[in-house]
Structure 1
Amino acid sequence: MKRKIVITTLMFILFTMKIIPAAPLNANAVSAIAIDGKTKMVLYEKNPHMLVPMASTTKIVTALVALNYSDLEEKFKVSKNAASIKGSKVGYRVSEEITVRELTYGLMMRSGNDAAITLAEGISGSVENFAKLMNEYGKEIGLLNTSFETPHGLDRDNHFSTSYDLALATIKAKEIPEFNKIASAKDVKKEEMGFTRDYHNINKILWRSEDADGVKTGYTGKAGKCLVSSFKQGDRETIIVTLNSNNRFDETMKIYKHINEEYEYKKFFTKGEVVKDIKVGNKVYNLGFDKDIILPIKKGSDIEVKISVNNIPVKKFDINLPLGKVDFIQGDICLYSETLKVIDLP
């Protein structure tokens, strides 16, 4: 990989594109995407913004909301509405009292629709109110093409998402250690967790790859077979979504193999490294990053690194303002941008 650095001084425009052109791979899915978990750079895509039903992959956001809006040890009572729901269930009985922690295990590992409704009613009082909360929270985390009507994902006219949005939701969910623990668990014994019953994860991807550590399956008549997966190799994490894919596990593994063959991770800058210095009045400020800049790059790519700094009048200078950025460019496409920060004070 060739690295060419261009330094310019110009008025700063905060603009980030995290798109890599789709590789010549045609996944057998109506919609599919692969995203790097740290940079959110798109590594593969097929109709990533198509609005489609997403079945039980909905429960990723249900779990996210539950983990953010409730106490894990709080107990919710199972209603008749929850116990009688159709589709996949844990088998909770009416009036059972189950902790939020256990309900979330049942939600993610067994894809329990009864767990989803119990969480919704316990947190928001009703499924309808919880769906409103899901939509509000979804917008907060950037799910701009998603609409929730239920916490479980059974087919509804106004219940849809995109593979891109589901990947973003998964990246957000995986910031929570408890979510990672639940989504990656294969089997849980009730005695070890203080639960009311044992749980076995129905997500076969966990057995297909030693790198797999979640996340959620889904199926309905309209949505078809869906799968959101995460793969971890050291500090590298990849999120893969396949929606309406008859061979979802095979297609996911095909995409994952393709990415590993096509991409390599390159470190461009080290945390604390001086990328550029700027003089403001009589003072010189060193600019850089508070983290290593490591990006997934197509093997053999020629990447241009363009460093831009702002023209800020001395009287208006503030180290908390955007002072510059670094663009990583391939051809005429900006693959990634990162804001420059003051890394030490003069």
Structure 2
Amino acid sequence: MKKSILLLVLIMFIPCLSYGEDLNLDGQNYILIEEKSGRVLVEKNSNVKLPMASTTKIMTAILAIEQGVMDEEIKIFKNDVNVGGSSIYLKEGERIKLEDLTYGLMLRSGNDSAVAIANHISGSEEEFVKLMNKKTKEIGAINTHFTNPHGLHDDNHYSTAYDLALIARYAFNNEKFEEVVKSKSYRVKNEREYDYFVNKNKTLWDYNGGDGVKIGYTSDAGRCLVASASRNNMRLIAVTLKDYNWFNDAYSLMDYGFENYSLYPIYLKDQLITQISVLKGKKDKLPLVPKNDFFYPMQDGEKNNIKISVRTDETVEAPILKGTELGSVEVYLNGQLIRKDKLIAKYDILKESFFKRLFKQHFKEENN
């Protein structure tokens, strides 16, 4: 039989900036999210579909890292060169590591690098684009559609500020991606002696804590920026599209986030949430703990209620192994579910022998 427990936790909280309100930015399509939780802190027109230029390459990079082997040396073919736009000037017949191509993609924004990666990973740009679009749906970026791996204009190549924030958030789960996009420069040795790539993303130099991710520009898309920064264990991701004041607007968004929000633990893994009764076990009670930590960005200055609902079986029967899923914890803000996690057994409970259970039952009856 299932039981449900409702815990009421009073903590300092304020909801995100009203969707109808803005920060007097020049851009008209932007968003700011906190990376760990994905919480939207402020946005304006963030679901409008727009061309996104080279911010496309965030997806290209994460697929290169996930699907490829960074140390693998790749031969450059005719289809990989002379792509147009920004370039790392690949030459037909040369050999270069996938890692070097990935740095050239994200730091120098090489369109030829994007095509070389696509052809290497999937055999053709067309097949790689299918992979890109499949991944966007898995991430939940449902208003994004790719037609190429680099971002040169196509009427059917578009995204939204919200979707690009989701894609960047997903990509930051990968340590290699984080290493690449936070690099200010990169030196690659190849058949042309040395190449030296300098990151075009000024956030790394201009903004305190800046650590990525990608700029983009075409005449159709305008100036597009996905920027990130980390302070006090909190990373913010700002996206602004078709914005001539792109960097300043992104900095203003992140200033707002860092000045008004801090990341607080709602619960930690291994933290006792509840206990359940155990039948036929060497212990009568079993502590349940969350499988994961849960941190959430919050503002000081106003109290609101966060409700935590715990659902478990009333009793379980031994033996039980540590880590066995035995319930769930749900976190609600203003009635809206913001997190659901598994509750698991904190430790093993072995089954008690029949004779020992019989003796304990007899002893209990004798003392009643």
C-alpha distance in 2 between matches for 1:316 and 1:167: 45
Please, which of 53, 59, 62 is the counterpart of residue 60 of structure 2? 62
Structure 2 partner of 1:239: 237
Root-mean-square deviation (CA, aligned residues, Å) is 2.8
- Once the two structures are superposed, what CA deviation does each residue of 1:47-92 show, in whole Å capped at 9, x if it has no partner? 2222111110000000011111111122223333332111111111
SS of residue matched to 1:336: strand
Instruction: Determine if the alignment matches structure 1 residue 164 to structure 2 residue 162.
Output: yes
Do the aligned residues in 2 keep the contact of 1:224 with 1:243 (CA within 8 Å)? yes
Please, which of 116, 137, 154 is the counterpart of residue 118 of structure 1? 116
Structure 2 partner of 1:256: 254
C-alpha distance in 2 between matches for 1:328 and 1:195: 57
Structure 1 partner of 2:306: 305
Structure 2 partner of 1:293: 294
Instruction: Determine if the alignment matches structure 1 residue 337 to structure 2 residue 331.
Output: no
Specify the code of the residue in structure 1 equivalent to 2:80.
A
Specify the code of the residue in structure 2 equivalent to 1:129.
E
Structure 1 partner of 2:327: 323
Please, which of 190, 196, 199 is the counterpart of residue 198 of structure 1? 196
Superposition pairs for residues 149-228 of structure 1, below 5 Å? Answer: 149-190=147-188, 196-228=194-226
Structure 2 partner of 1:20: 16
C-alpha distance in 1 between matches for 2:49 and 2:173: 26
SS of residue matched to 2:195: coil
Q: How far apart are residue 108 of structure 1 and its match? A: 0.3
- Higher mean C-alpha deviation, range 169-178 or range 207-216: 169-178
Instruction: Provide the TM-score with structure 1 as the length reference.
Output: 0.85
C-alpha distance in 2 between matches for 1:292 and 1:89: 42
Q: Who wins on radius of gyration, i.e. which is larger? A: 2
Do the aligned residues in 1 keep the contact of 2:278 with 2:316 (CA within 8 Å)? no
- Once the two structures are superposed, what CA deviation does each residue of 1:234-254 show, in whole Å capped at 9, x if it has no partner? 421111111111111000000
SS of residue matched to 1:323: strand
Do the aligned residues in 1 keep the contact of 2:216 with 2:223 (CA within 8 Å)? yes
Structure 2 partner of 1:15: none
Specify the code of the residue in structure 2 equivalent to 1:157.
D
Do the aligned residues in 1 keep the contact of 2:107 with 2:197 (CA within 8 Å)? yes
- Once the two structures are superposed, what CA deviation does each residue of 1:290-310 show, in whole Å capped at 9, x if it has no partner? 444332112213232322233
Do the aligned residues in 2 keep the contact of 1:8 with 1:306 (CA within 8 Å)? no
SS of residue matched to 1:258: helix
Is there any run of 5+ residues in structure 1 with no aligned partner, and where? 1-6, 11-18
Per the alignment, do residues 73 and 293 of structure 1 end up closer, same or farther by CA in structure 2, a change over 3 Å counting? Answer: closer
Structure 1 partner of 2:365: none
Structure 2 partner of 1:9: 5
Task: Using the aligned pairs only, state the percent identity.
Answer: 35
- Higher mean C-alpha deviation, range 110-119 or range 76-85: 76-85
Specify the code of the residue in structure 1 equivalent to 2:5.
T
Instruction: Provide the TM-score with structure 2 as the length reference.
Output: 0.81
Q: How far apart are residue 327 of structure 1 and its match? A: 1.8
Structure 1 partner of 2:140: 142
Do the aligned residues in 2 keep the contact of 1:27 with 1:46 (CA within 8 Å)? no
SS of residue matched to 2:131: helix
C-alpha distance in 1 between matches for 2:22 and 2:285: 47
Do the aligned residues in 2 keep the contact of 1:322 with 1:339 (CA within 8 Å)? no
Q: How far apart are residue 275 of structure 1 and its match? A: 2.2
Structure with larger RCO (C-alpha < 8 A, sep 6+) = 1
Do the aligned residues in 2 keep the contact of 1:305 with 1:326 (CA within 8 Å)? no
Per the alignment, do residues 152 and 78 of structure 1 end up closer, same or farther by CA in structure 2, a change over 3 Å counting? Answer: same
SS of residue matched to 1:214: strand
C-alpha distance in 2 between matches for 1:311 and 1:50: 42
Do the aligned residues in 2 keep the contact of 1:324 with 1:339 (CA within 8 Å)? yes
